[in-house]
Amino acid sequence: MRNVLRACSHPEPWKRGPVLTALALLLGLLLLLHAVVPDVAGLGSLLENVLPWLGVFVPVLLAAAVWRRSLSAATALLLPAVAWTTLFGGLLPDKSHPGGDLTVATHNVGAADPAPTARTLAAAGPDLLALEELTPQATPLYERTLAPTYPYHAIRGTVGLWSKLPLSGTRTIDVMNYGPLAATRSAAAKLPENRALHTTVTTPDGPLAVYTAHLGSVRLMPRKGFWTASRNIGAAALTKAITTDPAPRLLLLADLNGTWDDRAFTGLHLHSTQTTSGTGFGFTWPAAFPMARIDQILYRGMEADRSWTLPATGSDHLPVAATLTW
């Protein structure tokens, strides 16, 4: 009788921790099937923006499984461990290599002090420098400080591009009034329309189409969940402009207010410099403790040689830079 009671009170290792086992399997399924999670109240988008951080739960659940002596939970953790490694393991090694015909950088300058920020960014040596979240007060200071290094520049509202090479055909990309999403325009009515531009850079190797953009913010709201309406309008408009652009070589320098895993950007069909030539995740926001890479350098028709983040400037974003080869 005592043996029966002991067996009932101490189940076999494979039967222990059913809740931990279920959590491990759920974690693995979220990593593998995040794209099919419904975007109800922005849930799918939110999941994809924090996707790399789901890996933190693997050692936590493993510690709990060891404490419970649950072989089933420990075995089930193989699913999220393999899924996370498949998705993100390739980002961890250094993928940079020598070379580069063009160095570019982008930065949401926010509330950073314009003059020292401009000097710091110029000292990094980019041939093209995109700035987002410019204000009427700060823009003249950036223009004056960057003028000696960058003889060409184009500004449209809150975004600007400074260049060592000639620019032409600059135009505004309206990322707030995209037709198919016009019904949600009122949700983003307070945002200015001139938050993106397109220009052509004349290089020794031919023309290069460059887009600079600052998409609408996202918010965690009590009644709306993860609110992405204005960001998604901009993403759709930007996708339309880029996918219909015939330019064989194209760059997008932007604060997308979303990570490259976010479903809002699946239609862009561009490459991320951080994915192809960076080291690690290259998180850019918030600058004090970066948890997501929402500032992007994306490209097509070129090869990325190196991607990295620059030191903090006083903005709540870190600047990002990359070198590319024709």
Per-residue pLDDT tens for 172-218?
A: 999 877 665 555 555 444 555 689 999 999 999 999 999 999 999 99
On the question of pLDDT at 10 being above 80, the answer is no
CA-to-CA distance for 148 and 150, rounded, in angstroms? 6
Maximum distance among all Cα pairs of the chain, rounded to whole angstroms? 90
CB of 70 closer than 8 Å to CB of 17: yes
Tens of pLDDT along 94-151?
999 998 899 999 999 999 999 999 999 999 999 999 999 999 999 999 999 999 999 9
CB of 263 closer than 8 Å to CB of 48: yes
On the question of pLDDT at 4 being above 50, the answer is no
Q: What is the mean pLDDT of residues 237-243?
A: 96
CA angle 243, 89, 83 (to 5 degrees): 90
CA-to-CA distance for 310 and 291, rounded, in angstroms? 16
For residue 231, give the nearest of 270, 175, 183 by alpha carbon: 175
Q: Which two tokens stand for residue 50?
A: 């924090």
Superfamily of domain 102-325 in the CATH hierarchy: Endonuclease/exonuclease/phosphatase (3.60.10.10)
Span of 14-18, 134-138, 160-164 with lowest mean pLDDT: 14-18
Q: pTM here? A: 0.91
For residue 326, give the nearest of 302, 310, 290 by alpha carbon: 302
Strand-pairing partners, residue 200, are 168, 209
